[in-house]
Each structure stands twice: as C-alpha cells, then as structure tokens.
Structure 1
Amino acid sequence: MINTWTRIYRRNKRRRGRLSWESLRLDPWMILLLLIIMGGGLVVLYSASGEAKRLVEAQAIRFIAAFFIMFAIAQIPPQMMLRWAPVFYGAVTLMLIAVDVMGYHAMGAQRWLEIPGLFRFQPSELMKLAMPMMLSAYLARRSLPMNWKDLGVCILLMIIPVGLIADQPDLGTSFLVAATASFVILLAGLSWRIIAFCAVVVAAALPLLWLNMHGYQKQRVLTFINPESDPLGAGWNIIQSKTAIGSGGIYGKGWMEGTQSQLEFLPERHTDFIVAVLGEEFGLIGMLVLLFFYLLIVGRGLYVANKAQDTFGRLLGGSLILTFFVYVFVNIGMVSGLLPVVGVPLPLVSYGGTSSVTLLAGFGILMSIHTHRKLLPR
C-alpha cells in the first residue's frame, strides 16, 4: 500500500514538473544546453578579450536580453506565426530596401538602419527568421513534394532578399539566409530530376558569381587556396589561427595562457576567430567538448522538428536548427582553414549581440513548436 502511494506521488510530481515547463512554453533540455554553451563562451571571451570585463559584462547583458526575447517568442503559437509570416517577410524586405537607399555606412559596408537617438540594427539578421517562416508558410499550404511552379516561387522569394544583402555587401549573412531557404526546400522534398537541374544551374552560375564579387571577397577565396602567398597581409589571419589551434595540442596551454592570442598575434580573437583561442588554451579536448554540446543542441532541435504536428512546424523547425549547424560548421571550418573566411560568428561564443538575439529567437520558435504541439488536433 505504501509503495503504491509512493509511486503515485512520484508520478504526480513528475507531471507537475512537466506542466510547469509547458506552461512557460520552454524546453528544459534546450535551456540547459544553451546555458552551458553561453557560460563556456563567457569564460573563453574573458581570455580572448584580454581580461576586458566590460566586454564580458556587455555580452552577458545581451544574453539576458536575448533570453527574454526567446521567452516572448516561445509564447506565440505556431499557427499565429503561419498567418503573419508573409507580413513579417514583406516588412523585413522593405527594411533591406531602405538599407540600400538610406542605410548607415560603416567599415566599408552599408548594412544598418539607424533609429535617431536610439540604436542601429541589421535588418539582414531578421531575414534569417523571416525567410524560413515565409517559405514554410507557403509550402504548408501546398501538396508535397513540390512541383516546378512551387520551386520557382520559393527561389524567387529567396533571391530578392539574398541579392539585397549581398549588395550591402555582406557575403556571410547572404549565405546564411540562402541556407535557411535551401533547407526548407530540401525538407519539403524534391525529385532527383529537380535536384540534378538545380545542381547544374548552381555550377553554371559560379563564374557569374565570381565576376560580381567585390575585390576583397575574391581575395578571401584566393587566400583560402594559398594563404602563404601573402603571409603578412591577406593570409595573416588564417595562418595565425591555424598556428594557435595546432599549438594547443591535445590538452591545451591552459586558460589565459595562450601565446598567439595573449600576445595579440591572432586578429579578431574575440569575435570570428574565438574558436582558435579555445583550441590553443583548451586543446583538442576542449574543442571536442564544445562540439559535443553543439551536437546535442542540434539533435534536440531535430527531435523537436520531427515531433511537430504540422508541415509548417516541421519545415520551420528543421530549417532553423540546420542553419544553426551551418553556423558552427562554417565558423570552425574557416578558422581551421577548411573554408574561406566569410565572417560567420561562432554561435553563442563569439562576441556580438545581434547574432545572439537572432539565434535565441530561433530557439524560441523551436520551443513554441515543441510546447504548443498538444494544442493542435491530432
């Protein structure tokens, strides 16, 4: 009798715990993994920034603000996102046009809109969310796998903002926006004929893309092929980055004991190249631990997307978490010399507020898909 009541008490306790998280529309496992990544990121940032407490504090404040945004987005039902996706997409596209006409110019690029007396922001970051939402909403109302007409509409919806972002110029963000759209299209299902046709078109477009690239973008590609051709100029970043990672060995030199980073040989060490600092100070073991937690996040995100109860949730959730994987893959690939440098930050580790807010907003969408699924008809 006592054992029976004990089992009932434990079962009800577990249910109350689940209900509390569901009532907040949050996924406790995803929250835990994100906090681990962000906590470790702040530790590495402190060393990479030369013990600059103000940068660490600013990053922590941005994380807190991003968490509130994630929580707010998690409360929005996926069906409401489905209805408002075209409006969101249209508004962000208009912002990108406004950037082209009257955007704030800095560091050789025109990527920001300025609210006088308040702040500046990059509308291209919002397109990382608006693009998959728009394509997922469009395809959710179509029969899948898609036909040629639907594919053409999706490509048109993708090309317009990607072209506007590339013209700013911002090759890294335009690539990520194109990746979010491509993942939605692939997850929707394509015949092998369509895949083969798209592959031929992309291959044929590469020479045209090269001709329209800016001079510094071409230099990045050439430096990727042979960084030693200009070791004190364009090849400096990648050479120092690979030196830092290699010198860390298996166990690393110890926190704040790296030579390439602490002696300022490594440029952009607190932003795009922060993983080189991690590799030098914590070695192969530290890199593998970071990758392990990233893979856990990706796995959890794919699980959430797979359990979604409608096409919109599956396409949107799958594209968002796969884009997160692209962030990790491209950043580590470019820092280790496996990919050209395109200016993609390491998620939730590199210093910067805009990308962190966008990423956590995406996780808010994933949590909304996960926690609202029981409210949908089975």
Structure 2
Amino acid sequence: MSTAAAAQKKKFTFGLLPQIVVAIALGVLFGNFFPDWLTRVFVTFNGVFGQFLGFAIPLIILGLIAPAIAELGRGAGRWLAITAALAYSSTLLAGFLGLSTSLIVLPRVLPEGGAPSLTNPDEALLAPYFSLEIPPLFGVMSALVLAFIVGVAMTVIQGDSLQRGFLEFREVINLVIQKILIPLLPIYIFGIFLNMTQGGQVATVIATFLGVVVFVFILTWIMLLLQYTVAGVITGKNPIKMLVTMLPAYATALGTSSSAATIPVTLRQAIKMGVSQPVAAFAIPLNATIHLAGSTIKITCFSMAVMMLAGMEINVGVMIGFVMMLGVMMVAAPGVPGGAIMTAAGLLSTMLGFSEAQVGLMIAAYIAIDSFGTATNVTGDGALAAIVDKWVSRSKHRDELGDEAAVRAAA
C-alpha cells in the first residue's frame, strides 16, 4: 500500500518546467491588477534572492568545477583526455554555431530597434520595502581560476583528503541548488514577469522569445546532423542510420530532462549503433557529465537575444571569449537540475554585463526548453562515443602490428 502510494505521489509530481510556465502565466496575469503594496513584496523578494544568487554563484563554480576537473584526471589515462578534448571541441563548435547564426538571423527576427527599456524592472517601477547586501566571498573569475588550480592540483598530489573535502563541498552546493535556488526560481520568475507586465514589455518579450525558441530548436538539430556527419565520415557508417538508432535516447531525455537518468538508454543505443561495449561503458557516462552542446547553443543564442532586445553593444571578441569560458564551465553543470544556466549566470553578469532581471529572463527561457537541450546533449554523446571507439580500435590494431613485428624481429 505504501509502495503504491509512493508511486502515485511520484506520478503526479509537478516538475520544474510546469512550475516555470505557471509562474510566467501568473506573473503576466497578476501584473495587470496587483496593487502596489503587493507588488513591492515580490520586488523585495527578488532583490534578496538576487543578492543570494550573486553570493552563491562563485561558490557554485568552485564547488562544481574543482572536483569535476579532479575526477577527469583519473581513470582511463590518455583516452579520458582525448574524450574530454573531443567533448570540449564539440561544445565549442555548438557555441560558435549559435554565435554566428545568431549574428545573422536574430537581427532579422527580433523587433526593429529592440526593446531598450528591457532593464531591471525593479529600478523602473516600485522600490523594495528593504534591501539586503550579500557580497560574494570572491569574484567569478577568481572562483574559476581557483577551481582550475585546485582541480589540477588534486590530480597530481598524493592523498585524497583534499579531494574528499571538495566532494563533500560539492554535495553542499548541490543541496543549495536543489533545496534553495531551484525551488525558489518559480517565485523569482513570477516576480520578474509581474514587473515586466507592469512595465508594458511582457508582450514583446514573450513573442520574441517564442521565435528564438524555434530558432534554437532548429539549431540543435543542425548540430546533431553535424556531429553524426563527422562521426559517419570517421567510422565509415551511414550518419542518418546512426542518428536514427540514437533517437530512443533523445526521446527519453525529452521526458526526463536529465543526462544522468538517460545514461542506460544512451548506453544501450550506442552499443546497438556499433560502439564496442567497453568504449561505450567508458565514453557515455563521461560525456553525460562533460558534453553539453545543446545547452551551450541555448545559452549563447538566448544571451544574444537578450542583448539585442536591450540595445546592448555586442562585441564579437567578448562573445568568443564568453563561448570558450562557457564551454569550460559547462563541465560541471549536468550533475544538478538547472546547473548549466546557474553556473553560466556568473559569466552573464560579469562578461556580458547582464542585470539581475536579464539573468532571470535567461533562466526562464533556458528552462522553458530544458529537455530539448538535454536531448541534444545525450544524443550527441553517441556520435562522440563512435568516434572514440574507432580511434581505440585503430590504436589496438597498430599495437598488435607492433607486437607482431617485435616477435618477428626477435625470431
């Protein structure tokens, strides 16, 4: 009876995406008639939550990236390094694809003149009842550099005390994200759209982002076709058949929105696609952790859309650096729900100069199609696994030829 009740409770769980959709809808609806005193309650909440988010972001970067780098440095030696480099290259390709196409397409899709008033609605409307300053312990770049130093050091030094401490710190960060940030996000998003409605910009923003969502969805499939075309050329297989074989993993990720939860299906389909079992068992779980091509496309395109809407200057050199840094920071993101956009929030505010409300818009837009990005990530994992499998087989063949030559020479 208790098992059935637990199953029933799990069945009717109200997920994060529906919560965000409801929060946006209610924010738009209530923004038309909420009294000022009630709106100020949510303005105050958004101010405090934004301060806490700014405080947490450097800790999120340090707590997730440092142990992730340490874990990458152990295990399968050079094949781990090769797989990681391949995953990073794919993620960079996705980011530059999103950047280049956004520069060409978005100016033709977005409203002419953008929406220059798309700034922090808290500043344009009502003041909070009170404000609370929560300065971060260190900046985003300091956190990133420290994460690299500590992460690389943990792959070199003897002993596991430091790594065990950072693994426990990662659990603390995961709890902060899962128990504080993610549950409060719908209220935060509600407050943002409540203020935007009163500011008269919500209709433009919603209409605009619907178009951007379609644009990003098309880009994710272009990315998948590129990945499997390269994999097909390297392995000598039909890329379309390879992609079709991986579609069950894509469909599973659409339902779960979780790379980790989809690993069993991704692993099964990769083996069915022809990847050897040892390579698949190694590459699929690793890529589920470090390969975020779909997420990178989404964040890059949505950030470009927000900047164009707000009339912000777009420096291509800065955007290239942003994509490269984003690819590094995405390594730690899949371990927690919403981790990709939460980790990227620091880069958005520091490198691109996003306001609190603009970061909130990014979070809302990202989560709105979270499952499509995850599906792109895990489906692309199959292409990378096939490439690694081909290289491994070639290496083994060369080693076998070398052993035979050595035997003949000895004889």
> Which interval holds the TM-score relative to the shorter structure?
under 0.3
Compute the TM-score of the two structures, normalised by the length of structure 2.
0.24
Compute the TM-score of the two structures, normalised by the length of structure 1.
0.25
